[in-house]
Amino acid sequence: DWTLPLLFSISCLVIACPCALGLATPTAVMVGSGVGAKHGILIKGGEALESANKISAVVFDKTGTLTYGAPVVQDVLLLSDRCAFLKNNGEEKVTEIEDVTQVNEKVLRSILSYAACAEYGSEHPLAKGILAKAASHGIGEGLGTSLMPTEDFVAEIGSGIKCIINGHEVVIGNRRSLESNCVVISNGTFEAMEYLESGGQTAIVVSIDGCTEAVVGLI
Protein backbone atom coordinates (compact mmCIF):
# COMPACT_ATOMS: atom_id res chain seq x y z
CA ASP A 1 0.00 0.00 0.00
CA TRP A 2 1.60 3.26 -1.15
CA THR A 3 -0.91 5.58 0.60
CA LEU A 4 0.98 5.92 3.88
CA PRO A 5 4.40 6.59 2.28
CA LEU A 6 2.76 9.16 0.00
CA LEU A 7 1.26 10.97 2.99
CA PHE A 8 4.67 11.02 4.71
CA SER A 9 6.26 12.42 1.53
CA ILE A 10 3.64 15.17 1.22
CA SER A 11 4.02 16.02 4.92
CA CYS A 12 7.77 16.42 4.53
CA LEU A 13 7.30 18.57 1.44
CA VAL A 14 4.79 20.87 3.18
CA ILE A 15 7.04 21.21 6.25
CA ALA A 16 10.10 21.94 4.10
CA CYS A 17 8.35 24.40 1.74
CA PRO A 18 5.42 25.98 3.64
CA CYS A 19 5.57 29.30 1.80
CA ALA A 20 5.51 27.82 -1.69
CA LEU A 21 2.62 25.44 -1.05
CA GLY A 22 0.69 27.17 1.72
CA LEU A 23 0.95 30.82 0.70
CA ALA A 24 2.31 31.35 -2.81
CA THR A 25 -0.13 29.11 -4.67
CA PRO A 26 -3.35 30.45 -3.06
CA THR A 27 -2.06 34.02 -3.44
CA ALA A 28 -1.29 33.49 -7.13
CA VAL A 29 -4.77 32.06 -7.71
CA MET A 30 -6.39 34.95 -5.87
CA VAL A 31 -4.41 37.62 -7.75
CA GLY A 32 -4.98 35.92 -11.09
CA SER A 33 -8.73 35.69 -10.49
CA GLY A 34 -8.83 39.34 -9.41
CA VAL A 35 -7.00 40.56 -12.51
CA GLY A 36 -9.30 38.48 -14.70
CA ALA A 37 -12.39 39.91 -13.01
CA LYS A 38 -11.19 43.46 -13.68
CA HIS A 39 -11.09 42.61 -17.38
CA GLY A 40 -14.53 40.99 -17.35
CA ILE A 41 -13.24 37.40 -17.16
CA LEU A 42 -14.61 35.22 -14.36
CA ILE A 43 -12.29 32.34 -13.37
CA LYS A 44 -13.75 29.40 -11.47
CA GLY A 45 -10.94 28.54 -9.07
CA GLY A 46 -7.36 27.37 -9.34
CA GLU A 47 -8.15 24.17 -11.22
CA ALA A 48 -9.51 26.19 -14.12
CA LEU A 49 -6.37 28.33 -14.17
CA GLU A 50 -4.15 25.26 -14.13
CA SER A 51 -5.92 23.64 -17.08
CA ALA A 52 -6.14 26.90 -19.07
CA ASN A 53 -2.69 26.41 -20.59
CA LYS A 54 -3.94 23.26 -22.33
CA ILE A 55 -6.77 25.07 -24.14
CA SER A 56 -6.41 24.98 -27.91
CA ALA A 57 -9.96 26.00 -28.93
CA VAL A 58 -12.87 27.90 -27.35
CA VAL A 59 -16.50 27.27 -28.34
CA PHE A 60 -19.20 29.84 -27.54
CA ASP A 61 -22.91 29.03 -27.36
CA LYS A 62 -23.99 31.94 -29.59
CA THR A 63 -22.60 34.93 -31.45
CA GLY A 64 -24.00 37.41 -28.95
CA THR A 65 -21.85 35.94 -26.17
CA LEU A 66 -18.90 37.97 -27.46
CA THR A 67 -19.51 41.59 -26.45
CA TYR A 68 -17.57 44.59 -25.22
CA GLY A 69 -19.00 44.26 -21.71
CA ALA A 70 -21.36 47.17 -22.39
CA PRO A 71 -24.68 45.90 -23.82
CA VAL A 72 -26.02 48.03 -26.67
CA VAL A 73 -29.57 48.13 -28.04
CA GLN A 74 -29.34 47.08 -31.67
CA ASP A 75 -33.02 46.87 -32.62
CA VAL A 76 -36.44 47.76 -31.22
CA LEU A 77 -39.27 45.90 -32.95
CA LEU A 78 -42.67 47.46 -32.28
CA LEU A 79 -45.65 45.11 -31.95
CA SER A 80 -48.53 47.62 -31.86
CA ASP A 81 -49.36 51.33 -31.77
CA ARG A 82 -51.21 51.17 -28.45
CA CYS A 83 -48.42 53.11 -26.71
CA ALA A 84 -48.69 56.09 -29.05
CA PHE A 85 -51.04 57.87 -26.66
CA LEU A 86 -49.29 57.14 -23.36
CA LYS A 87 -48.20 60.26 -21.52
CA ASN A 88 -44.46 60.63 -21.00
CA ASN A 89 -42.96 62.83 -18.34
CA GLY A 90 -42.49 66.41 -19.55
CA GLU A 91 -44.42 65.80 -22.77
CA GLU A 92 -47.99 66.72 -23.68
CA LYS A 93 -50.37 63.79 -24.04
CA VAL A 94 -51.21 63.25 -27.71
CA THR A 95 -54.83 62.46 -28.56
CA GLU A 96 -54.60 62.15 -32.35
CA ILE A 97 -51.80 61.40 -34.81
CA GLU A 98 -52.35 61.10 -38.52
CA ASP A 99 -48.89 60.48 -39.98
CA VAL A 100 -47.64 56.87 -39.72
CA THR A 101 -44.05 58.00 -39.20
CA GLN A 102 -45.12 60.20 -36.31
CA VAL A 103 -47.05 57.29 -34.81
CA ASN A 104 -44.02 55.00 -34.93
CA GLU A 105 -41.77 57.68 -33.43
CA LYS A 106 -44.25 58.35 -30.65
CA VAL A 107 -44.61 54.63 -29.90
CA LEU A 108 -40.81 54.20 -29.86
CA ARG A 109 -40.37 57.13 -27.47
CA SER A 110 -43.08 55.79 -25.18
CA ILE A 111 -41.53 52.31 -25.15
CA LEU A 112 -38.05 53.68 -24.44
CA SER A 113 -39.37 56.05 -21.79
CA TYR A 114 -41.27 53.41 -19.83
CA ALA A 115 -38.52 50.84 -20.29
CA ALA A 116 -35.85 53.30 -19.07
CA CYS A 117 -37.96 54.25 -16.06
CA ALA A 118 -38.33 50.59 -15.12
CA GLU A 119 -34.69 49.66 -15.75
CA TYR A 120 -33.38 52.68 -13.84
CA GLY A 121 -33.85 50.73 -10.62
CA SER A 122 -32.40 47.50 -12.01
CA GLU A 123 -28.86 46.21 -11.41
CA HIS A 124 -28.91 43.95 -14.46
CA PRO A 125 -26.18 44.68 -17.08
CA LEU A 126 -28.76 44.88 -19.88
CA ALA A 127 -30.42 47.81 -18.09
CA LYS A 128 -27.45 50.02 -19.02
CA GLY A 129 -28.03 49.36 -22.71
CA ILE A 130 -31.69 50.36 -22.50
CA LEU A 131 -30.89 53.50 -20.51
CA ALA A 132 -28.24 54.47 -23.08
CA LYS A 133 -30.70 53.94 -25.95
CA ALA A 134 -33.31 56.09 -24.21
CA ALA A 135 -30.70 58.79 -23.59
CA SER A 136 -29.91 58.89 -27.32
CA HIS A 137 -33.54 59.92 -27.81
CA GLY A 138 -33.33 62.62 -25.15
CA ILE A 139 -34.96 60.51 -22.44
CA GLY A 140 -33.27 60.35 -19.05
CA GLU A 141 -32.19 62.30 -16.01
CA GLY A 142 -31.13 65.82 -16.97
CA LEU A 143 -32.36 65.40 -20.55
CA GLY A 144 -35.39 66.73 -22.44
CA THR A 145 -37.75 64.06 -21.13
CA SER A 146 -37.04 63.13 -17.52
CA LEU A 147 -37.74 59.71 -16.06
CA MET A 148 -40.98 59.01 -14.24
CA PRO A 149 -40.97 57.48 -10.74
CA THR A 150 -41.70 53.76 -10.35
CA GLU A 151 -43.78 51.95 -7.75
CA ASP A 152 -43.85 48.34 -6.56
CA PHE A 153 -40.59 47.50 -8.32
CA VAL A 154 -39.82 43.76 -8.33
CA ALA A 155 -36.75 42.07 -9.81
CA GLU A 156 -37.60 38.53 -10.86
CA ILE A 157 -34.36 36.56 -10.84
CA GLY A 158 -33.69 34.84 -14.14
CA SER A 159 -36.70 36.30 -15.93
CA GLY A 160 -37.06 40.10 -15.72
CA ILE A 161 -38.54 43.00 -13.79
CA LYS A 162 -41.96 44.51 -13.20
CA CYS A 163 -43.25 47.75 -11.71
CA ILE A 164 -45.94 50.41 -11.90
CA ILE A 165 -45.22 53.63 -13.84
CA ASN A 166 -47.72 56.46 -14.06
CA GLY A 167 -50.51 54.01 -13.27
CA HIS A 168 -49.43 51.50 -15.94
CA GLU A 169 -48.10 48.03 -15.17
CA VAL A 170 -44.77 47.46 -16.91
CA VAL A 171 -43.15 44.04 -17.31
CA ILE A 172 -39.77 43.61 -19.03
CA GLY A 173 -38.15 40.24 -19.46
CA ASN A 174 -37.83 36.95 -21.29
CA ARG A 175 -40.28 34.18 -22.09
CA ARG A 176 -40.43 33.02 -18.48
CA SER A 177 -41.39 36.53 -17.42
CA LEU A 178 -44.25 36.61 -19.92
CA GLU A 179 -45.57 33.29 -18.64
CA SER A 180 -45.22 34.01 -14.93
CA ASN A 181 -46.96 37.37 -15.24
CA CYS A 182 -49.77 36.05 -17.50
CA VAL A 183 -48.97 38.61 -20.20
CA VAL A 184 -51.14 38.59 -23.32
CA ILE A 185 -48.93 37.80 -26.32
CA SER A 186 -49.44 40.20 -29.21
CA ASN A 187 -49.16 38.88 -32.77
CA GLY A 188 -45.57 38.55 -33.90
CA THR A 189 -44.00 38.58 -30.43
CA PHE A 190 -42.25 35.21 -30.56
CA GLU A 191 -41.39 35.64 -34.24
CA ALA A 192 -39.68 38.95 -33.40
CA MET A 193 -37.75 37.32 -30.57
CA GLU A 194 -36.59 34.45 -32.78
CA TYR A 195 -35.55 36.90 -35.52
CA LEU A 196 -33.37 38.89 -33.12
CA GLU A 197 -31.93 35.80 -31.45
CA SER A 198 -31.05 34.27 -34.82
CA GLY A 199 -28.80 37.29 -35.34
CA GLY A 200 -27.03 36.76 -32.03
CA GLN A 201 -28.98 39.37 -30.08
CA THR A 202 -30.48 38.99 -26.63
CA ALA A 203 -34.22 39.55 -27.00
CA ILE A 204 -36.28 40.98 -24.16
CA VAL A 205 -39.94 41.90 -24.31
CA VAL A 206 -41.51 45.13 -23.05
CA SER A 207 -45.10 44.65 -21.90
CA ILE A 208 -47.40 47.42 -20.74
CA ASP A 209 -50.77 46.89 -19.06
CA GLY A 210 -50.66 43.15 -19.63
CA CYS A 211 -49.84 43.11 -23.37
CA THR A 212 -46.54 42.78 -25.20
CA GLU A 213 -45.71 46.04 -26.98
CA ALA A 214 -42.12 45.72 -28.25
CA VAL A 215 -39.15 43.38 -28.45
CA VAL A 216 -35.73 44.90 -27.74
CA GLY A 217 -32.58 43.29 -29.13
CA LEU A 218 -29.24 43.87 -27.38
CA ILE A 219 -25.71 42.81 -28.26
Q: What stretch of H or E contains 75?
A: strand 73-78
- Is 99 designated active site? no
Classify residue 141 by its DSSP letter.
T
On whether the CB atoms of residues 219 and 200 are closer than 8 A, the answer is yes
Residue 41, amino acid: I
The span from the CA of 139 to the CA of 73, in Å, is 15
Q: Which of 61, 75, 99, 152 is catalytic?
A: 61
The span from the CA of 96 to the CA of 52, in Å, is 61
- Helix axis angle, 45-52 to 25-38, nearest 10°: 80
Classify residue 82 by its DSSP letter.
G
Which residues are known catalytic residues?
61
